Amino acid sequence: MRRWLLVALSSLGLVLAVGCSVNPVTGKSQLDLMGEAGEIQMGQNYYPGAIQGSLGPIDERNVQATVERVGQAVATVGHRPGLPYQFTAVNDPEVNAFALPGGKICITRGLLSRLESEDGLAAVLGHETGHVTARHAVSAYNRQIMATAILVGGAVYMESQDVKNRGLITLGAVIGTQVVLASYSRQQERQSDELGLEYAVKAGYSPRGMVETQKTLLALQKGQPGAVERLFASHPMSAERLDTAEKRIAKLPPDVQARPLRREPYRVAMAEVIQERPAWDLASEGQRLLGQDKDRDAEGKLAQAVRMVPKAGVIRTLHAVSLASIKQKGAAVDEARQGARLSGDVFVSRLVAGELLLEPDPAAALDNLENAEKLLPGQPQVSLLRGDALEKLGRKREAAAAYKEAVDRDPNGEVGAEAARRMRRLG
């Protein structure tokens, strides 16, 4: 056991030797394995994937302009105003908002459609900005690196000594590490609430926007728990947080407490998002049913959603997937075409169209897949499907190059293995 600890502590010592920095919110020195430049770079690297993984940006200028304006207002008065902040409204119908390192922040259609004022929006975006300014993602990264160093060091020693039950011991350590990480997240949520309220008030918004928003979320948790499942998994919400917010607001100057909520400007800017919420709620339900392999039920929900908002390309794409799942290939192809045409710059719509159009129209499939590659470069599935389309068009040398690209992108996965098999078939 002493030797195990020595190995683990040596691994940890190498990590700790990297450096520390001063947290801009607390003013205290903390472990820093990334640095601000690395933090910004990480956010820039992952932001396109985060947006596309959330079904792409909302194609409504007023919505994006409002989110960006309010977001920049709270970020400018925060502890790190010099970061390259970006705020994007995304199509995901679930209620959620999230921040990546370096100031890259998203809020979903599902949450935007349930907020009631610009002040509520400021509270949400201020909260997410608080995660950025306090470097919560960086802290989690640091903890993960330290935990990994300890676990790797211990695992290497146990492997060398053939320790009995070493797999269970390592698993137990991993579980213990995750418990520690979860406890930190609750503390970080409280800190982000405090910072979000501070930033919103400094930016001129009513502090009551935070209370209003938290009441809305708690009510959703009781009435529609599925709608806030992901939000509450990453942002634990509780009555205690609401009570704390109300106590903080009670200590603010009377004139600040009396600020009116900016309801009408918000309703005007979000009119289309609010109006279309019932359809997107159905789409969200259909998406969940697809994940549960209840394909016919999913198709019914998504068909209803399409009838309500026929110009919503992402919903038509999801409907195309459900139609393909119940073997209605002709209807699925037609719906996939419409989804890609109406969605524009949404990766999932281009990918689905690319896959479903392979048999009837490989040229159109290739066009969609090349668009998908531009929207989210580096995906092995796109390379594999491009190879398939090129092969069907008789462009075998280009097909082989696309398959090789898929292998390079996924050397140890199923997509890479399938691409390698097709390369061998082409000789």
SS3 of 56-108: CECCCHHHHHHHHHHHHHHHHCCCCCCCCCEEEEECCCCCCEEEECCCEEEEE
Contact 193, 245 (CB under 8 A): yes
Q: Is the dihedral of CA 139, 142, 146, 148 positive or negative?
A: positive
Stated pTM of the model: 0.82
Of the candidates 307, 300, 304, the one whose C-alpha atom is nearest the C-alpha of residue 328 is 300
Contact 333, 353 (CB under 8 A): no
Tens-level pLDDT at each residue, the chain (427 residues): 455 444 444 444 444 444 666 676 666 666 565 778 888 998 899 999 999 999 999 999 999 999 999 999 999 999 999 999 999 999 999 999 999 989 999 999 999 999 999 999 999 999 999 999 988 876 655 555 444 444 444 444 444 444 333 333 333 333 333 333 333 367 888 889 999 999 999 999 999 999 999 999 888 888 777 777 777 666 666 788 889 999 999 999 999 999 999 999 999 999 999 999 999 999 999 999 999 999 999 999 999 999 999 999 999 999 999 999 999 999 999 999 999 999 988 999 999 999 999 999 999 999 999 999 999 999 999 999 999 999 999 999 999 999 999 999 999 999 999 999 999 999 8
Q: Supply the pLDDT for residue 155.
A: 42
Contact 97, 128 (CB under 8 A): yes
| Cβ neighbours, 10 Å, residue 268 | 10
Encoding tokens for residue 300?
């019914």
Q: Supply the pLDDT for residue 326.
A: 96
Encoding tokens for residue 379?
């995906």
For residues 305 and 355, give the distance between their C-alpha atoms in angstroms, rounded to a whole number.
Answer: 23
253 phi and psi angles, rounded to 5 deg = -55, 145
44 phi and psi angles, rounded to 5 deg = -65, -35
Encoding tokens for residue 8?
């683990």
Contact 399, 368 (CB under 8 A): no
Q: Is the dihedral of CA 368, 372, 377, 378 positive or negative?
A: negative
Which residue segments constitute the domains of the chain, with CATH numbers given? 2-257 (no CATH), 275-426 (1.25.40.10)
Q: Supply the pLDDT for residue 11.
A: 44
Which residues, listed in sequence order, are joined to residue 108 by a DSSP beta bridge?
90
Three-state DSSP at 46 gives: helix
DSSP assignments along 282-350, one per residue: HHHHHHHHHHTT-HHHHHHHHHHHHHH-TT-HHHHHHHHHHHHHTT-HHHHHHHHHHHHHHH-S-HHHH
What residue type is 372 in one-letter code? A
